[in-house]
Amino acid sequence: MSSTQPEPGSAARSPLLMQPYGQYVLVRKLAEGGMAEIFLAKLLGADGFERNVVIKRMLSNLSSLPDFVEMFRDEARLAARLSHPNIIQIHELGFIDGCYYICMEYLAGEDFSSTLRQAGRKRQYTPFPITLRVLADAARGLHFAHDFTSESGQPLHIVHRDISPSNLYVTYQGQVKVLDFGIAKAESRLVQTRTGVVKGKYIYMAPEQAQGQEVDRRSDVFSLGVSLYESLTNVRPFARENDLAVLNALLQGDFMPPSSLRRDIPPELEAVVLKAMSLSPENRYATAADFADALEHGLEGKVPMATHKELAEYLRGQFGEERFTERTRVPTLETLTSQSAQLASQPPQHVVFASSGTFPTVPAPPKRLSSTSIVPPPGAAQASSAARRGPGLGVLGAVAGVLLLLAGGGFVAWRALSRPPAPVAAAPETPAPPPAAPTPPAAVAPPAAVAATPTEVPPAVEPPAADPAPVAVAPGEGPEEKTPLTPKPPSRTKPRLVTLGIEDVERVVEKSRARIASCFEKYKKELPADTGVVRVQLSIASTGRVKATTQGPLGSKTVGECLEAQAERLRFPAHRDKAVNVVLPFDYTVKR
């Protein structure tokens, strides 16, 4: 879960809880993800003092993982020190009923992702001045964190790692806040410690992050560039049909220039986007402050920037007075208690069905591609259950896994050897394409936007899938031809080639989990430590056969040979690529 603030309308939909929680009262549950559950709460004090806050409480099953608890505490303490107008403020790290929680400021506003979707629903682009203000302010907050030092002046090298429109928040007072500093890093460190998994939304992350390499502030600059691209065009640049295609497009820099999707984008603004999204970190803006300067000063005379007052007015106009009131005027505890008592006194509602037994049907929504459904972070409950299974292959049964695939010449980071039973799918951050045939991108560009006035546009269009290749019909095989007198000999059916995807690898590797894990148990006396990670590279031929090679020093030739032998017994579906190289990090824990 990325956003620490309520989703649109969630406060109105969720029931009142009114549960005492230390010095707080939990009012409503706003959201829940694989790491924590989030509540709107009231901080209580003397003489009727109360303040609206947000409580982010660690899920109870994670409290049994000491390494995660320690990282949660460390990162929360760090995030609380980041006091900046453009970073959400954390008030307290606490511990109640066996679970850690974080108390943070309540923000009355909307996340930027919802703002973009709202504009798309109205067939508008978010005006240039609004977009520039949001991204420039967010970059200022990021730069403060990137430059943050310890008490002795030692740089801490903080990197957010999960910048996207959903983690940028705009208040009804015109403020811009970066959410989840430190918390995102805690999640990342947890799974990287166990399996080397890459944390973040693939569609926004920098190529070096997708490859599992070291990241620095320029990785966040790349994510800012992707967010700027999306907010200007209503299109995610790397949106594809599945996560592997997304990552291949990311690593190859395969995206359409913004001006090809929206003709009124000034060349100077497009240049800012393209520089921030450079594949090589050396070619990007060196700092988030440089990125902000390019938006605030480099476009002077070309693109105006909204004031904070104009930003507040735009947000209120987009979402309406009812939403504004809901977010900015949270009732007092006395009023909420009265409402809760009234609801409790009402008789239960009974539903009576017609005797005919027929029920109205709800048409299913049209199937569409949504990058936000790409491999959600696995639920932490699986981490706990896997840890209880005893020694074995942690990458297959612990938290998650990372596959570094080389398809067409470039490494691609890929996770998801274990899925959560019920992943929380994020809402699409851009409007879905209509069921009708998509309009070519160049045709949807609207006239030039004027200041902060919304511009009429159709909903965002994801890149269309390629048309199927034409099928030639030989004489005698068409519908108008007569059946040949001499039947043709039956031809051997060729195996259907697939694009190797997550489901294929999951299915094959999971079937061999116990067999591969047995190598660590069988030769545990030769392992250099009770816990560790071994990386094995698989070269998967187009036929599905595998050649395995152990990478790096292992300290035991026997264990490496066993892993290679077991891995080479895997058989993947025949696929279209000539070869796909996969690096599997095998996380083991044994008891001697």
Helix axes 288-296, 267-276, angle to 10 degrees: 170
In whole angstroms, what is the distance from residue 146 CA to residue 215 CA? 12
Three-class SS state of 208: helix
Q: Annotated catalytic, 162?
A: yes
Residues sharing a CB contact under 8 Å with residue 18, sequence separation 6 or more, in sequence order: 25, 26, 27, 336, 337, 340
Phi, psi values for residue 354, rounded to 5°: -65, 150
Backbone angles phi, psi at 193, to 5 degrees: -65, -35
Q: Is 566 within 8 Å of 519 (Cβ atoms)? A: yes
Spatial strand order of the sheet with 109-111 comes to 109-111, 168-171, 176-178
Q: What is the DSSP letter of 569?
A: T
Which of 137, 162, 180, 243 is flagged as catalytic?
Answer: 162
Q: d(Cα 20, Cα 17) in Å, to the nearest integer?
A: 9
Residue 250 burial (CB < 10 Å; 0-12/13-18/19+)?
buried
Q: Which helix (H) or strand (E) holds 207?
A: helix 207-210
* Region class of 48: left (phi > 0), else alpha (psi between -120 and 50), else beta: left
Structure-token match 């600059």, residue found: 221
Measured at the CA of 213, the angle between CA 152 and CA 576, to 5 degrees, comes to 165
Tokens of 313: 């007015």
In the chain, the amino acid numbered 377 is P
Tokens of 526: 């030769």
**CB proximity list for 466: less than 8 A, separation 6 or greater:** none
For residue 33, count CB atoms less than 10 angstroms from its CB and return exposed for 0-12, middle for 13-18, buried for 19 or more. Answer: buried
Catalytic residues: 162
